[in-house]
Amino acid sequence: MFALTGQFTLDGRFGAFGGAFVPETLKPALEELEAAFRQMTDDPAFQEEFLSLLTEYAGRPSRLYLARRLTERLGGARIYLKREDLNHTGSHKINNTLGQVLMAKRMGKKRVIAETGAGQHGVATATACALFGIPCEVYMGAEDVERQALNVLRMQLLGTKVIAVTSGTKTLKDAINEAMRDWVAHVQDTFYCFGTAAGPHPYPSIVRCFQSVIGAEARAQILEKEGRLPDAVLACVGGGSNAMGMFSGFLSDPSVRLIGVEAGGDGVETGRHSASLTAGIPGVLHGAVSYLLQDDDGQILGTHSIAAGLDYPGVGPQLSYLKDSGRAEFLAITDKEALEGVRLLALTEGILPALESAHAVAQAAKMAPQMSPDSLLIVNLSGRGDKDVHTLAGEVG
């Protein structure tokens, strides 16, 4: 039911957004990557191997689960959860890393590097590298190393070297900077496994392609269960991979609202947040034109979110395009609301969501009571909350 080819444009532009703004040294590597991607996604053997990894190894398809008690509690729209948290390694990130590391293997690369925020992409990359026997190094902001300690340990157990990044704000943005510096120095034998649908072309297209399995499955599953499309699909937005993965399944269904939920931190009005689409201005960071949290001089602003995976001042270019074209809507959920989302889902459904995913849950909790009981929402439950128990323990008090 899911195929890789077809709907994927590879010109690197999404309206005024996208492109490849990188040092010249990396430009040929991006061209090589694009050529490899075109060739592999056209190759039935690659498709077959990728799809078989998704099912046999990652445990796909992920369930589309009707959250009955949550729906009852909220008293409105019927809420379905797309259970990416049940994938191997506990989030949607594995869909992308299996695809990219498979590419790395076929391209004959000797080494894989990655950045990670919450550690989920790092764990998923470490996992795929262990599976294919390729050495892996992951850059992670020193602040995230601390707050996502469990994932650091998991990566190390999987044979990956975790490098704590102490420059700048010590979070995801700086981990990407450091990974790009590494790539510049080792570009000939190193594959950069990028974790979200952002960055320079062709990464936004590659990551969306590998994550589009989420939306493709969800669309088929809701049609099977309900006989109709949902009224809205919701996903949290860090860089945009789980959101683009979900949205891509419904882009050509104009009746389906696409709702991206950003990290509102202490509140967008406080300035301590990571809501790039809600409060940012277009600019260039990490290789693409996109909405960006920046000051009047074009310097990138520090961000805050309780969810390490959303704590990033940029966002993928296609989401910026979907915002400007009006096809998708974006809102921000605060740390406090996200924590309430964790509690709500834990107590009504026995599911502990990742703090990132809890942002989408919290937005659903706001919307559902406003909607009629015959309306349908799908929430992308991008990951499980085990990694966050440390942070949550501090908040539960």
Ligand X SMILES: Cc1ncc(COP(=O)(O)O)c(C=O)c1O
Given the residues 212, 276, 382, 387, select the one marked as catalytic: 382
The Cα 215–Cα 243 span in angstroms is: 9
Q: Which CA distances in Å does 235 have to 63, 242, 333, 335?
A: 16, 7, 12, 16
- For binding to other proteins (CB under 8 A), which residues are involved? 19-29, 31, 167-168, 173-174, 177, 180-181, 184-188, 281, 283-287, 292, 294, 296-300
Written in H, E and C, the secondary structure of the chain is: CCCCCCCCCCCCEECCEECCCCCHHHHHHHHHHHHHHHHHHCCHHHHHHHHHHHHHHCCCCCCEEECHHHHHHHCCCEEEEEEHHHCHHHECHHHHHHHHHHHHHHCCCCEEEEEECCCHHHHHHHHHHHHHCCCEEEEEEHHHHHHCHHHHHHHHHCCCEEEEECCCCCCHHHHHHHHHHHHHHHCCCEEECCCCCCCCCCHHHHHHHHHHHHHHHHHHHHHHHHCCCCCEEEEECCCCHHHHHHHCCCCCCCCCEEEEEEEEECCHHHCCCCCHHHHCEEEEECCEEEEECECCCCCECCCCCCCHHHCCCCCCHHHHHHHHHCCEEEEEEEHHHHHHHHHHHHHHHCCCECHHHHHHHHHHHHHHHHCCCCCEEEEEECEECHHHHHHHHHHHC
Can residue 265 be called a binding residue for ligand X (CB under 6 A)? no
CA 97 → CA 62, 128, 265, 319, distances in Å? 16, 6, 28, 21
* Binding of residue 383 to ligand X (CB under 6 A): yes
354 interface partner picked from ligand X, other proteins, none, CB below 5 to 8 A per type: ligand X
Question: Does the protein bind ligand X through residue 241 (CB under 6 A)?
Answer: yes
Write the interaction track for ligand X spanning residues 181-220; mark x where CB under 6 A is met and - where it is not. ---------------x------------------------
* 242 is a contact residue toward ligand X (CB under 6 A): yes
Closest contact distance (angstroms) between CB of 189 and ligand X is 26
Which range of residues in 115-123, 163-171, 286-294, 363-371 is near ligand X by CB under 6 A? Answer: 115-123
Stretch of 13-21, 42-50, 127-135, 231-239 lying at the interface with ligand X (CB under 6 A): 231-239
| Site for ligand X, residues 321 to 360, rule: CB under 6 A | 354, 356-357
- Rounded Cα distance, 160 and 181, in Å: 19
93, 170, 173, 323: the catalytic one is 93
296 contacts which partner out of other proteins, ligand X, none, CB within 5 to 8 A by kind? other proteins
Report the nearest approach of other proteins to the CB of residue 15 (Å): 15
Return the one option of ligand X, other proteins, none that residue 91 interacts with (CB less than 5 to 8 A, by type).
ligand X
Residue 189 CB, nearest approach to other proteins (Å): 10
148 binds ligand X (CB under 6 A): no
115 catalytic residue (yes or no): yes
Q: Kindly write out the interface string for residues 78-97 of this chain, putting x where it contacts ligand X by CB under 6 A and - elsewhere.
A: -------------x------
CA separation for the pair 26, 7 (Å, rounded): 27
Rounded to a whole number of angstroms, the minimum distance from the CB of residue 289 to other proteins is: 8
Q: Which of the residues 84, 115, 337, 356 is marked catalytic?
A: 115
Is 325 a residue of the active site? no
Of the pair 234, 293, the CB lying nearest other proteins is at 293
The residue count of the chain comes to 397
Residue in 78, 109, 121, 147 binding ligand X, rule: CB under 6 A: 121
Binding status of residue 118 toward ligand X by CB under 6 A: yes
Q: Is the peptide bond before 61 cis (omega within 30 degrees of 0)?
A: yes
Per-position x/- string for 39-78, each x denoting binding to ligand X as judged by CB under 6 A, each - no binding:
----------------------------------------
Total of chain residues touching ligand X, rule CB under 6 A: 21
Q: Is 382 in the site for ligand X (CB under 6 A)?
A: yes
Give min distance, CB of 31 to other proteins, in A. 8
Active site residue ranges: 93, 115, 382
Write out the residues near ligand X by the rule CB under 6 A.
91, 117-118, 120-121, 196, 236-243, 309-310, 354, 356-357, 382-383
